[in-house]
Amino acid sequence: MSTKDFMNLLITQLQNQDPLSPTDQGSMMTQMTQIASIQSMTQMQQGMTQLGVDQQMTLGQQLINKNIQLQDSQGNTVTGAVGQVKLATGTDSSGSPTSTVELQVNGVLYPITDLQSVLPDTTTPANPTPPTP
């Protein structure tokens, strides 16, 4: 139940209460406390979700030009360099906003959650510096 649904239910309850026997103040305070608690939990959940997206975006930025291996949604292994990191936004089934970090590999976008490994860099410098004796 969302906060909006809870508020609508509370308002309906207040509109339809018996004027000769109104809801006692203790019950009203309990309901108001429940509303505040629901709002706090919702805000904390949204903050934690955003923190996770921020961490994934940071990881994605660190992977640009690195060779990675991932498994696509069909189970195929894909290997290649990350060319771009994208934040895709949308909504879930309840209408809440969602964010997904995607990596572009070989011209195709994949969710960062498909990442399996970061491959070692096999390039060598053009003019390697000889070791000092």
Whether the predicted pLDDT of 28 surpasses 60: yes
Q: Is residue 69 part of a domain?
A: yes
**For residue 82, what are the domain limits?**
3-17+26-118
Q: Is the pLDDT of residue 17 over 80?
A: no
Give the count of domains, the chain: 1
> How does residue 23 score in pLDDT terms, banded at 50, 70 and 90?
low
- The pTM assigned to this predicted structure is 0.63
Q: If we measure between CA atoms, which residue out of 68, 56, 53, 49 comes closest to residue 118?
A: 68
pLDDT in tens, 48-96: 988 989 999 999 999 999 999 999 999 999 999 999 999 998 888 888 7
**Residue 112: Cβ within 10 Å count:** 21
Confirm whether 130 is domain-assigned.
Answer: no
CATH code at position 57: 2.30.30
Residue 127 has pLDDT above 60, yes or no: no
Do the domain assignments include residue 124?
A: no
- The pLDDT tens digits of the residues spanning 99-124 come to 899 999 999 999 999 999 999 887 65
Q: Residue 53: which of 84, 88, 23 has the closest Cα?
A: 88
What is the structure's pLDDT at 5? 77
